[in-house]
A and B are shown apart, each in its own frame.
Chain A
Amino acid sequence: MTPEDWHLVGFTLGMAALSTVVLIPPGLWLAWLLARRHWPGKSWVETVVALPLILPPVATGLILLKLFSRRGWLGAFLWETFGISVVFTWRGVVVALSLMSLPLFIRSARVAFSAVSRRHEQIAASLGASPTRVFWTVSIPLARRGLLAGVLLAFARALGEFGATVVLAGNIPDRTQTLALAIYQSVQMGDDSHAFRLMMVSLTLAFALAGASEWLSHRRDSHP
């Protein structure tokens, strides 16, 4: 492994971590709304949230590119208001990874919230806890293992993301290139040994994350 390779691994881990942090607040909120509330348009939102799982990642990337380019309505707003550019930057990597990981996190979090006893939430309210306090002091702690498994899953998904990232952020070494993109580039250039080394790093990370997620699920089964 060269220093450049280690830099690449660090960049990928950092982008995956940042994208996971970014998706947690909206993901928690949406998952709780889907698990606990009935509201008009709920099934429509459920469909939209699941779209990144079903659409080809490249197609999702294309939608993001249209939205975040300087002529897209989100991209124009960000550029004109804050002077921020997303396309072909590290911010594009974060946006693509967050969006592609969001459905997995929401699915795990929704199941975790649904498993929380409503009884405890009700009793907390009867003892004077506002809905916000019930959420933070009862719902979140009781759902914590499922939520943590969702975080791991989202992080793992972000580590391996390819299609949406390459379209929105490009494959620019030292700027937007992640492990998955570097493996693809090495294969394209016929540098199999480099591709193999990076693949082994990806495999190790995936193995560790899958093991951690499995351990959490097991703990949840044995300590409901």
Chain B
Amino acid sequence: MSLQLQKLLARLPEFNLELDIVLDRPMTGLFGPSGAGKTTLLETIAGLRNPDAGRIVFDQQIFADTATGRALAPHLRSIGYVPQDVALFPHLHVRQNLLYGWHSRGGDGLPPHWDETIEMMELADLIYRPIAGLSGGERQRVALARAILSSARLWLLDEPLASLDQPVRRRLLARLRHWIDRWKVTAIYVTHDPSEIVDGCDDVLVMKAGKLVQRGLPNFVSCLSEDKSRLHSSS
């Protein structure tokens, strides 16, 4: 499955997001300083904002094409989006949040990989808890599990493990990678942590001010720490 971003343009107050790339690996890492346009890119792919120009095609399905005025509604895009702000539904308890996407896409009862996901995300003790009582790390695990359980084919993960401890982060990243391969899912993984890219991704994009400044295999990630400090210092 490939995600094509063809001559994509999204105008932002401080710069334009401009990309013309094909993502054809299962897990692509997206790296860059804050305000580089990474979240804007994910939201444009998810259909939460419309591009000003260009075409987005995923697995031969046209998500958006400004030339024809076509924009597929977000709920038809088979997306599992984990936003940075997690945005859990405050009026639903944990279980209802977890099942929201699965039921929205017509699923009945529990999704097939429910038990495995609950166990890996360590959510069994939280299952009937209200959202208001969860810690930052717990909220992040619920948001990630909610996207995973929604039976989406394209995961857009915006720093999905940022609030978690290093050992938990490493373990979940390995499991995410395992699921991506097993369920033939495509994922874009935004992170500020180069080690996550080395551990999980097949392809790495480095963005700055809305442009792609580097692209390569994760083994060039050894340069990223250096690049990261350089990118931050120049932004």
Q: Out of B47, B78, B79, B90, which one reaches A142, CB within 8 Å? A: B90
With both beta carbons as reference points, the residue of chain B lying nearest to A122 in the complex is identified as: B48
**Would you call B91 and A126 a contact (CB within 8 A)?**
no
Question: B52 to nearest A CB, angstroms?
Answer: 18
Given the interface contacts A122-B48, A122-B74, A123-B81, does A128 sit within 8 Å of B91 by beta carbon? no
Q: Which chain A residues (113-148) contact chain B, with CB distance < 8 Å?
A: 117, 119-120, 122-131, 133-134, 137-138, 141-142, 144
Question: What's the dominant secondary structure at chain B's contact region?
Answer: loop
Residue interface bits B73-91, CB-to-A below 8 A is 1, else 0: 1110111110101010111
**Would you call B104 and A141 a contact (CB within 8 A)?**
no
| Complexed CA–CA distance, A126 and B155 (Å) | 11
Question: B72 to nearest A CB, angstroms?
Answer: 11
Question: B124 to nearest A CB, angstroms?
Answer: 22
Q: Which chain A residues (154-173) contact chain B, with CB distance < 8 Å?
A: none
- For B81, list chain A residues within 8 Å (CB): 123, 126-127
**Would you call B73 and A125 a contact (CB within 8 A)?**
yes
A residues contacting the other copy or chain, number (CB 8 A) = 20
| Complexed CA–CA distance, A132 and B98 (Å) | 20
**Would you call A133 and B83 a contact (CB within 8 A)?**
no
- For A119, list chain B residues within 8 Å (CB): 83, 85, 87
**Would you call A126 and B90 a contact (CB within 8 A)?**
no
**Would you call B89 and A126 a contact (CB within 8 A)?**
no
**Which A positions have Cβ atoms within 8 angstroms of B?**
117, 119-120, 122-131, 133-134, 137-138, 141-142, 144
**Which B positions have Cβ atoms within 8 angstroms of A?**
46-48, 73-75, 77-81, 83, 85, 87, 89-91, 100-101, 104-105, 146-147, 150, 152
List 12 other contacts, CB 8 Å, given A127-B146, A134-B75: A119-B83, A123-B83, A126-B46, A126-B48, A126-B80, A127-B100, A127-B101, A127-B105, A128-B152, A129-B101, A131-B73, A141-B91
